[in-house]
Amino acid sequence: MRRPVARKLSVLAVSAAVVSVGAAAPPAAQHTTARKVPVAVGYGGAVSSVDADASAAGIEVLKKGGNAVDAAVATAAALGVTEPYSSGVGGGGYFVYYDAKSRTVRTIDGRETAPLTADSNLFVENGKPLAFADAVSSGLGVGTPGTPATWQTALDKWGSKRLGTVLKPAERIARDGFTVDDTFRSQTAANETRFRYFPDTAKLFLPGGQLPVVGSTFKNPELARTYDELGKKGVGAIYRGDLGKDIVDTVNNPPVDPSSGWNARAGKLSAKDLAAYRAKLQAPTETSYRGLDVYSIAPSSSGGTTVGEALNILEKTDLSKASEVQYLHHFIEASRIAFADRGRWVGDPAFEDVPTKELLSQKYAVSRACLVKDDAVLTSPLAPGDPRHPAACAAGGTAAPTTYEGENTTHLTVADKWGNVVSYTLTIEQTGGSAITVPGRGFLLNNELTDFSFTPANPAVHDPNLPGPGKRPRSSISPTIVLDKYGKPVVALGSPGGATIITTVLQTLTEFVDRGLPLVDAIAAPRASQRNAAKTELEPGLYNGDLRTKLEAIGHSFSLNPEIGAATGVQRLPNGKWLAAAETVRRGGGSAMVVSPAP
């Protein structure tokens, strides 16, 4: 689902030397809205997210002695209040953590899972695949939520605070309210028809039957009570308790307004599915690029393998000396190739034989990179290669087109005074998720199962992303942490945006590492996204410029996308200083904060 508000995007050169702020925690006694700034430089730790209240929640925990993991969970919980159409306890995500003491990167796969009764025909009805719109706003598209388990797992393994403690800032924001901005109103407007199908959703997000007014205070006391219950009882309240029973009842009997005429197909979620759910601790993906070590999330997400493969393809091209046209040309072609391979090879490794190591090998990247020419464009959909048996410049075979993924998610990046770092992307799939609110609980349920292929993307090719019992749908989420040769952080970043997450992270990394842009400028730069399609999507800053004409002369074709992604990042500076960076324009701008501008 596209963002409802198109904005003119341009590179806004915000100097870190000019914008340097420390964020004070909001007082508990009254509602305040923190001020958004896209860059913050200082000490004691840093938080960057799309929302100022959420970033302030993370800073509050850091100021009270919490570490990066504690602050990340606090920020994520607050985003569940202020960005409820992007994230929340009804969804899932992927958590990447750098431990400063051991100088190692660890990850959690908190992706939602299909019911244990699901099979490859989950979205087939009367012999035909369901229309995407019919599957989205239904119980059928809801996967077992993974976010609560991710929070608890992260805190148990690496945190220093209790869940109840780090949920308190978010609970306060839900109870006291936050200020409605243009983005929140426009997202609500884009989902108004769907929201009216479900009385509990309409009651919560269309107060008094109307769209929320910009500048008004939006409160969610039901979510405040849910957070309080989770804090007191733990996430077992969802996976083995009354909260979970409410989720199961809602999925299997969607509370639809009979007068709407909407067929909110029942899901198949059970208490057994919730009890069986586990957030998976697993090794990250790792690749070397320009002498740096790039870590991300391994399958079930395709983010780490696809970003990593594209970086490996670009390794032999000196992007620092390339013209802007040649830089974008090579970036686009590397993305095209990596997506061709992703579509054939990446799925849930519990069900699919995913050649992760081979996809990330430099030998395989060399065999694919030779397809790229300076003066010609590859044709999409491009056929995949075979990473287990690399053949130089192989161009034959059958392509597997990229399937649709909802573009709405949210990302946060956190660092603490000890040098620990978290890069965490969480989601309920598309804007508004399933549009189904759990009655009395204050949160929307995901529609993540629609990230599965409804039927094989290409009948002639094995599709690793078909539904299965307990299977995780393939994701593009790409939370990334980059270390130097000493094992210390250089930068961490990530983005929302469905399949465009991969290209956003890849472009931001190469703009920062190769092109030498300050992190905030690399995040703000107008984006391109090629996902093995006939046309490459461009934001207005590129679509309306001379670069588009020059790229078309090589053979590229383009379509306009008003907004791609909404990245956040943190960068380690010398002497314990951190730089936090967020969007300058996208989603109304992001929010970067540090604990203190002074040592």
CA dihedral 179, 219, 92, 100 (to 10 degrees): 60
Cα–Cα distance between 58 and 63 in angstroms, integer? 9
| pTM listed for this prediction | 0.93
Q: CA separation (Å) from 595 to 67, 219, 225, 412?
A: 12, 27, 29, 16
pLDDT number for residue 398: 82
C-alpha Rg value of the chain to the nearest Å: 22
Rounded to an integer, what distance in angstroms lies between the CA atom of residue 535 and that of residue 531? 9
Three-state secondary structure string covering 159-185: CCCCHHHHHHHHHHHHHHCEECCHHHH
Question: For residue range 309-329, what is the model confidence (pLDDT) as tens digits?
Answer: 999 999 999 999 999 999 999
- Asked if residues 297 and 479 have their Cβ atoms less than 8 Å apart, the reply is yes
CA gap 348, 331 in Å, rounded: 27
Structure tokens at 389: 């048996």
List alpha helices for 253-323, DSSP H.
271-276, 303-314
Our measurement of the distance from residue 536's CA atom to the centroid of its chain's CA atoms, rounded to an integer in Å, reads 21
Q: For residue 460, what pLDDT is reported?
A: 81
List, for the chain, all residue ranges whose pLDDT scores fall below the cut of 50.
1-32
Domains located in the chain, CATH noted: 39-281+404-465+474-596 (3.60.20.40)
Which stretch of DSSP H or E encloses residue 292? strand 292-296
Sign of CA dihedral 429, 136, 344, 563: negative
Catalytic residue among 183, 305, 409, 568: 409
Strand (E) positions, 39-120? 39-49, 92-99, 104-110
Task: Specify the pLDDT at position 459.
Answer: 82
Q: Are 317 and 330 in contact (CB under 8 A)?
A: yes
Q: Which pLDDT does position 596 carry in this prediction?
A: 97
- Of 85, 130, 93, 131, nearest to 112 (Cα)? 93
Which residue, among 85, 57, 86, 84, has the nearest Cα to 73 in the 3D structure?
57
Residues 6+ apart with CB under 8 A from 594: 20, 21, 22, 23, 40, 41, 42, 43, 44, 45, 46, 47, 59, 578, 580
Tokens of 286: 């790792």
- Residue 409 known to be catalytic: yes
pLDDT score, position 407? 64
CB 118 within 8 A of CB 472: no
Contact 166, 155 (CB under 8 A): yes
**Would you state the pLDDT for residue 461?**
82
